[in-house]
Amino acid sequence: MPLSTDEQQYLEEVSKHIEVLLHASEAPLTANDLKKHLSVSTKELEQALNVLQARLDLGVLSLHKTASGYRLQISDTYSPLIQRTFPQRQEHLGQALLETLSVIAYKQPVTRSDIEHVRGVTLSSNILRQLFDKGWIMEKGHKDTLGRPALLHTTAQFLDAFGLTNLSELPPMPDIEGIRAMS
């Protein structure tokens, strides 16, 4: 059933309030945060988010859902312009850091020695420190073996940084053995 004019106007107003809160927030806002601050139902929030997305589709921002909630970000279409104009904003993540992070993301929970086994090289403490400093990994428990090494997991901040809502959105793992056999 189509919405009445009053309902459409109400949802448009709620969508503007969501947009204001997302602009003002330094971190993503969850659906529960938005419902609480705006005193709306789950259905009204979903409808207002759809209205907001439709309005944003006409501009340069997009509504993005991450593991920590909703946020506004510049549409991917404009990434080349931003990279050319603000090259200092680009953060270079080294190959060792990305390999380590990939092993943790795809194989978690893992220990330091698990990462070293997969990568075939000794893991630099500096790499792990960088990942901890960024808040992308955390220790969560210990492996029940000699020495009880810490088990490493990714965090919601990792998911947020890479624009994911959960680990199932990671691209499929390539067949490394097949690639090695071809070379």
Considering the domain architecture, whether residues 75 and 128 belong to the same structural domain is answered as: no
- Amino acid letter at 90? Q
Considering the domain architecture, whether residues 72 and 106 belong to the same structural domain is answered as: no
Considering the domain architecture, whether residues 74 and 98 belong to the same structural domain is answered as: no
Considering the domain architecture, whether residues 101 and 44 belong to the same structural domain is answered as: no
Considering the domain architecture, whether residues 95 and 175 belong to the same structural domain is answered as: yes
Task: State how many domains the chain has.
Answer: 2
**Per-residue pLDDT at 177 exceeds 70:** no
**Per-residue pLDDT at 5 exceeds 80:** yes
Considering the domain architecture, whether residues 171 and 105 belong to the same structural domain is answered as: yes
What DSSP character marks residue 183?
Answer: -
List strand residue ranges (DSSP E) for the chain, in order.
Answer: 61-66, 69-74, 137-142, 150-154
**Per-residue pLDDT at 179 exceeds 70:** no
Q: Does 148 fall in a domain?
A: yes
2-27 per-residue burial string, b: 16 or more CB within 10 A, e: under 16: eeeeeeeebbeebbeebbebbeeeee
**Would you call 27 helix, strand, or coil by DSSP?**
coil
Identify the H or E element spanning 168. Answer: none
Q: Does 56 fall in a domain?
A: yes
Q: Does 85 fall in a domain?
A: no
Q: Does 75 fall in a domain?
A: yes
The pLDDT tens digits for 88-114 are: 766 778 889 999 999 999 999 999 999
Q: Which residue range forms the structural domain that includes residue 110?
A: 91-182
Considering the domain architecture, whether residues 15 and 44 belong to the same structural domain is answered as: yes
Q: At what angle do helices 42-56 and 31-38 cross, to 10 degrees?
A: 100
Please compute the mean of the pLDDT values over residues 28-44 and round it to a whole number: 94
Considering the domain architecture, whether residues 99 and 173 belong to the same structural domain is answered as: yes
What DSSP character marks residue 59?
Answer: S
Considering the domain architecture, whether residues 102 and 174 belong to the same structural domain is answered as: yes
**Would you call 72 helix, strand, or coil by DSSP?**
strand
As a whole number of angstroms, the distance between CA 5 and CA 7 comes to: 5
Considering the domain architecture, whether residues 75 and 56 belong to the same structural domain is answered as: yes
The pLDDT tens digits for 52-96 are: 999 999 999 999 998 889 999 988 888 888 888 887 766 778 889
Considering the domain architecture, whether residues 40 and 120 belong to the same structural domain is answered as: no
Considering the domain architecture, whether residues 13 and 72 belong to the same structural domain is answered as: yes
Tracing tokens 């959960």 back to the chain, one arrives at 166
The pLDDT tens digits for 108-162 are: 999 999 999 988 899 888 999 999 999 999 999 999 988 899 999 999 999 988 8
> Which of 147, 165, 144, 145 minimizes the C-alpha distance to 156?
165
pTM: 0.67
As a whole number of angstroms, the distance between CA 65 and CA 85 comes to: 26
**Would you call 139 helix, strand, or coil by DSSP?**
strand
CATH number of 20's domain: 1.10.10.10
User: Taking every pair of C-alpha atoms in the chain, what is the biggest distance, in angstroms?
Assistant: 68
Q: Does 46 fall in a domain?
A: yes
